[in-house]
Amino acid sequence: MFPSVWNFIKRHKKKFIFSGAALGGVYLLGKYAQKKILEIQEKEAGEFMAQARRQLHFESNQRTCNMTVLSMLPPLREAIITQLDSESLTDLLKTRPANKLDIWEDLKLISFTRTIVAIYSTCMLVVLLRVQLNVIGGYLYLDTCAGKDSTTPLAPPDVQQQYLSSIQHLLGDGLIELMTVVKKAVQNSLGSLSLKQTLSLPDLEQQLMWIRAEVESECRLSRYMMADEENALAEQACGLTEKDVTTIRLMDETRDMLDSPDFPAVLSTCLNRGFSCLLDNLAEFFRPPPSDPVYGAAPDSLSGTRLPLAKIIPIVNGQINSICSDTPGHFLQDLLTNDQVREFAANVYETFSTPQELQK
């Protein structure tokens, strides 16, 4: 038996060798494939965890943005009211002065100006803080990922403070410049209208459209949000520290975001919503009670209802309290939850939370 088996093996030696090599190759190939599949699964799991961690960090950052906006609204409102003081004019009118008509004309300009400025500045505040805090948020995420391996943080606390303090331009010089431009547009649009002239809600909407067209044709709105690059560099010209250099880099990156094609579209969406909310608020005052001869229209006819400009002025004057409210109203809620604003914020965060080598 054994000789015959041995003879069979000798006759088919090459086949046995080939088969053994093939089986061994298949086995090794299977082990290699199994190892590679395991590596891919581990890599995918790692990437998934990293993405989930980054998403959680992003969501936390957006909540910080919302809280920061709410904390900045009271000083913004106070800055507008201080610069455009209508209360002193209304107090003067109560004394029945001889120049009553002149005071009413001033009140007309200031009332419309401060309400329109409140819409512009609130929208700018929301979008600018979305950019700044997501730039910072992206760098903080990279610093967190680097952990102990990072000797120099991309966004150290003192740089963050210096960088975020640039928002004061919007509450200071930028706001005053915006007020000047808006007041001029209001004067051109409403200056010639008599206090006795009656206006419908569509008439007011048309006036606001004209004012917006003039304001937004003057220059890029981003100039009211950040100081000119030349001025910022001039202020820092003497003895730049490493902190100053990092802050200037962050400011330049922020300007790049404000100059991107997406930014004007996002800001325009916010402004459209702001003026729409204003008209919705005003519409409530154009809903006349039955048999009121002042309004001259049926109660359900908003477009046909007309009010004297003198009655509209106090209504417009009080709108700043709902636009820049301490508690978020419909307008602010719309801004903070707007899909286009969120998508823009996500793009900014994605840009600055991605390592440079991956971006390249």
Q: Please, which residues have CB within 8 angstroms of residue 305's CB and are 6 or more apart in sequence?
A: 200, 201, 286, 287, 288, 295, 296, 297
Q: What confidence tens digit (pLDDT) does each residue in 196-247 have?
A: 999 999 999 999 999 999 999 877 898 999 987 655 554 555 567 888 888 8
**Residue 275: is its pLDDT beyond 90?**
yes
Query: 9-23, 114-128, 298-312 — which one is most confidently predicted on average?
Result: 114-128
In degrees, rounded to 5, the angle at the alpha carbon of residue 38 between the alpha carbons of residues 34 and 44 is: 145
Q: Evaluate whether 58 touches 138 at the Cβ level (below 8 Å).
A: no
- Burial of 21-54, coded b for 16+ CB within 10 Å and e otherwise, reads eeeeeeeeeeeeeeeeeeeeeeeeeeeeeeeeeb
Q: Which of 122, 226, 233 is nearest to 177 (CA)?
A: 226
Q: What confidence tens digit (pLDDT) does each residue in 278-295 have?
A: 999 999 988 766 655 554
Task: For residues 340 and 334, give the distance between their C-alpha atoms in angstroms, rounded to a whole number.
Answer: 11
**H-run or E-run covering 344:** helix 339-352
Task: For residues 117 and 77, give the distance between their C-alpha atoms in angstroms, rounded to a whole number.
Answer: 10
Fill in the amino acid letter for 144: T
Q: Evaluate whether 174 touches 79 at the Cβ level (below 8 Å).
A: no
Strand ranges inside 140-272, DSSP E: 198-200
For the record, the structure tokens of 115 come out as: 């309400």
- pLDDT score at 355: 75
Per-state percent for the chain, helix, strand, coil, to nearest 5: 80, 0, 20
* Mean pLDDT lowest among 32-41, 255-264, 307-316: 32-41
Evaluated on CA atoms 220, 225, 228, 229, the torsion sign reads negative
